[in-house]
Structure 1
Amino acid sequence: MAKVTRSDEQLWEAIQENDNRAFAAFYERYWLLLYKAALHYLKDKSDAEEVVQEVFVNVWNRRKSLDIQNFQAYLTSATRYEVYRRIRIFKVNKGELNKDFSHDMKVVYNAGLERLNLSDNWGILEKCLEELPKRCREIYYMSKMDQLSNTEISDRLSITNHTVENQLAIALKHLKRNFSRFAVIIYCLFFYH
């Protein structure tokens, strides 16, 4: 008897109804793809496994609220975000960044499998962010990369919410002034997928 393979959509409907077996099938379907993508940038098997685990934990925790149109695109984008977040933390802590990641960065639109090569735009964005004052850049990364609220940032840095808001406004104004509209849209799609 042939095994019936359920579509992503069928699995997702079951996952949203708390079906652990459907989630396990979904995990098995995409684990290797995401692991290879994470390993390409991180060059460490355990880190790559942690990234994929984090992505799937987030999917499970948010299963009731997520509206995913293209599962491969969503999971790939989520994996890239998690890899970037870890590299950013490593850069902040160690002063290093995996250059392959900066040059090979790609974004996947949720509307389909169309991919945009961001190597040039990513370099421009990184340069633009590096021009910001250190504190402003730090607040921006905490807000956009680490997804901390203004209150969390103000608590961690022992500054007022108003200061956080002002610094974020300065950063966004700088990005708008110095970075093309197209690239900012792509950046927002990547980080707010």
Structure 2
Amino acid sequence: MLNTNGANLDACTFIDERILNELFQKYWNSVYHICLKYTGSEIDSEELAQDIFFSIWKRRETINVQDISKYLHGAAKLKAFNFMRNKSRAKLEITDLSTEPVNNEHPAIQMEFKELNAYFSKFCNTLPEPRREIFLLSRNHAMSHKEISEKMNISLGMVEYHIGTALRSIRKKLHTFL
């Protein structure tokens, strides 16, 4: 049986179905409830939790995690945050930027979301100019790497480098926030 408390998944030659099932059995409820805390929706939370475990399965041969519990809980928070951010953006477009609140979620969830969003915005402002512009085009304008490459007249590899570097920086900085 896999020791999942602080286990290094890379210590196994691969994550097989049995190991994934153990992780699923042990962590499903906590991952689901973290997502539920942020989304307020049982259906959305189930889907997000499934996506997290599916992501582990897809990356089973390359994933390297020192503490699976921290990894899964951090992934759940980040996945739920991104989901709520995208949902909020879609609502803003639909409601034509009215002055009415766009979310009907619990006030505590709204507050946490606003704090995390403010932290994220503050972080984006610390990125060097080309990296920030590339990252925001990718995330805020939902442009593909190819579209960004063409718009900025730079190579696709350069776009991928800047986005990857920005994401690694975000993970490091958000780790302290989460």
Category of TM-score, reference length = shorter chain: 0.5 to 0.7
Give 2:112's aligned residue. 104
Give 2:148's aligned residue. 154
Equivalent residue in structure 1 for 2:37, among 35, 40, 48: 40
Per-residue displacement from partner, 1:23-42 (whole Å, max 9, x unpaired)? Answer: 11110100000101000110
Say if 2:126 is the partner of 1:126: no
Say if 2:148 is the partner of 1:140: no
CA 1:50 to 1:188, structure 2 compared with 1: closer, same or farther past 3 Å?
Answer: same
Greater mean alpha carbon deviation, residues 139-148 or residues 50-59: 139-148
Matches within 5 A, 1:1-193: 6-8=2-4, 12=9, 17-95=14-92, 96=102, 100-101=108-109, 103-104=111-112, 119=115, 123-126=118-121, 140-141=135-136, 143=138, 150-151=145-146, 153-154=147-148, 159-162=151-154, 187-189=170-172
CA 1:139 to 1:65, structure 2 compared with 1: closer, same or farther past 3 Å?
Answer: same
Unmatched 5+ stretches in structure 1: 106-117, 131-135, 170-184
Deviation at 1:43, TM superposition (A): 0.5
Q: Residues 150 and 161 of structure 1 are in contact (CA less than 8 Å); yes or no, is this contact kept in structure 2?
A: no
Give 1:182's aligned residue. none
Q: Kindly report the root-mean-square deviation, in angstroms, between the aligned alpha carbons of the 2 structures.
A: 4.6
Distance between the aligned counterparts of 1:125 and 1:13, measured in 2? 30
Q: Residues 55 and 79 of structure 1 are in contact (CA less than 8 Å); yes or no, is this contact kept in structure 2?
A: yes
Q: Residues 52 and 79 of structure 1 are in contact (CA less than 8 Å); yes or no, is this contact kept in structure 2?
A: yes
Determine which structure has greater relative contact order: mean sequence separation of CA pairs < 8 Å that are 6+ residues apart, divided by chain length: 2
Unmatched 5+ stretches in structure 2: 93-101, 126-130, 163-167
Taking every aligned residue pair, what percent have the same amino acid on both sides? 19
How many residues are treated as equivalent by the alignment? 153
Give 2:128's aligned residue. none
TM, length-normalised to structure 2: 0.62
CA 1:160 to 1:186, structure 2 compared with 1: closer, same or farther past 3 Å?
Answer: closer
